[in-house]
Amino acid sequence: MTPQHVAVIDIGKTNAKLALVDTSDLSEIVVVTRPNTVLAGPPWPHFDVEGHWDFLLDSLRDFHAKHGVDAISITTHGACAALLDKHGELAAPILDYEHSGPDEVVDRYNTIRPPFSETGSPPLAGGLNIGAQLFWQFHEDPELKDRTNCIVTYPQYWVARLTGHTAMDVTSLGCHTDLWNPHTGTFSSLVDKLGIADKLPPVRKPSDLLGSVLPYVATRTGLPEDTPVYCGVHDSNASLLPYVLSEQKPFSVVSTGTWVIAMSLGGKDIRLDPNLDTLMNVTALGDPAPSARFMGGREHDLATGGTYPAPTALDVEDVIANQIMLMPAVVENTGPFKNRRSHWIGEEPGVGTSKRGAAVSLYLALVTAECLGNIGHSGQIIVEGPFAGNRTYLHMLGVATGSAIHRASGTTGTSAGASLLAIKKDAANLTSSTRVDVENASLLRSYADYWRTTVLKQFG
């Protein structure tokens, strides 16, 4: 029987969430969140998984008591692995991928790192490559590898806590880990070089049923002991899944949050350039998907400096008329313009003003357009997540790419996509998006052309 209410554990880089999704229309009945706080250590900065666990169990209890929970699905951010000991407990805290520790041994790691042609995984800063994380962790703690019985990707860490079963999923492995070959659908050569082949559980499809909740979980939450738990999926691929199942190629999905991830299906045949922060993701169906990304949500928060009134059409016109522009990159170690220092052209708008919000939104759309161009985008663009509610961003993205823009409904496309893992049905009648009518197209076009010309002139 198809579950009616699927509880989706959604661990993003900024917030941990639990959403209850009605599978009849993929609507969210209720969503609760808590900050994804990074604890300082020791031995290294790590995620507060115990705090998340209590939050998730309490929320599952409340959801089930009020609405009923029929199944659990899981989606998390990438670049994250859990090292489990022989008892199924953490052998070490789960490293925050933004920690710079792995950079200390990057030269040594590069001697065993597979080439981009094998993995589709670009070399990234800190722990954004799971292979680099593991290499550094084993260097920092020489006994850690021996203590580690099993290595799981992050969605499956929560599966293990819920069910006691271990696995890895193809989308999390395909997310710039250095551990996966998306062309062959097998582990990369790095696995043997790290000496971890015997510590890796089976690789499963995100939609595979891995088990039911443990008795302890059932007692704590009130859930029936036969409540099914599905394997889980990387969050950007969760956002992509409804459209993989429902849309005709070519098209692209732009998943927005702390990261902006652009993923193209059926687009132009283009050679990916790892220097532009492009990579090869793997869809929930196991197919390669050219992708590009930058830390757009983080850039938004840093560049705006806080909350601001929603920009008006007059704000946008004023920014364009005075050629007020933000140059990349606000977060310097990611995106198509990484390793470049951000600055303003024209009079910098005041923090907290709607004019500043307009300028930052235009900037984010233009960087997104560069990402899409770098992966051979063609066809319509579907924007999901927080930026789907930013009209200035949507209008500029449509103009800069020359593409039809559709705004996905729902507060978080990741939850809707992850819920599909449990219901295994065509999403054609379940997805919902609205085409965006672009305003001030000619003004936006002139601004976009000038911005890109300036970027190329300044940075080459």
Kindly write down the DSSP assignment for every residue of 181-235, as one continuous string.
ETTTTEE-THHHHHT-GGG---EE-TT-EEEE--HHHHHHH---TT-EEE--EEH
Name the average pLDDT for the chain.
94
**What DSSP string describes 223-286?**
--TT-EEE--EEHHHHHHHHHHHHPPSSEEEEE-SSSEEEEEES-------GGGTEEEEE-TTS
pLDDT of 428 higher than 60: no
Res. 411: pLDDT tops 60: no
Structure tokens at 71: 């199944």
Mean pLDDT, rounded, for 46-70: 98
**How big, in percent rounded to 5, are the helix, strand and coil portions of the chain?**
40, 20, 40
Q: Which amino acid is at 194?
A: L
Q: What is the mean pLDDT of residues 172-179?
A: 96
Q: Are 302 and 330 in contact (CB under 8 A)?
A: yes
Burial environment of residue 222 by CB neighbours within 10 A (0 to 12, 13 to 18, 19 or more): middle
Residue 51 has pLDDT above 80, yes or no: yes
The mean pLDDT of 272-299, rounded to a whole number, is 93
The model's pTM is 0.85
Confidence class for position 313, pLDDT limits 50, 70, 90: very high
The rounded distance, in Å, linking the Cα atoms of 131 and 102 is 10
How confident is residue 41, by pLDDT bands cut at 50, 70 and 90?
confident
Residue 144, by phi and psi: left (phi above 0), alpha (psi -120 to 50) or beta?
alpha
Kindly report the CATH number that applies to the domain delimited by 5-231: 3.30.420.40
Residue 171 confidence (pLDDT): 96
The CATH number of the domain covering residues in 236-459: 3.30.420.40
pLDDT band at 333 (very low <50, low <70, confident <90, very high): confident
DSSP label of 312: P
Q: What is the DSSP letter of 117?
A: H
Q: What number of other Cβ atoms are within 10 A of residue 110's Cβ?
A: 11
Burial zone of 442 (CB within 10 Å; 0-12 exposed, 13-18 middle, 19+ buried) = exposed
Whether residue 205 has pLDDT greater than 90: yes
The CA distance from 231 to 421, in Å, is 8
Domain with CATH 3.30.420.40 in the chain: 5-231, 236-459
Mean predicted confidence (pLDDT) in 142-149? 98
User: β-strand 343-345 against 325-327: which pairing, if any?
Assistant: antiparallel
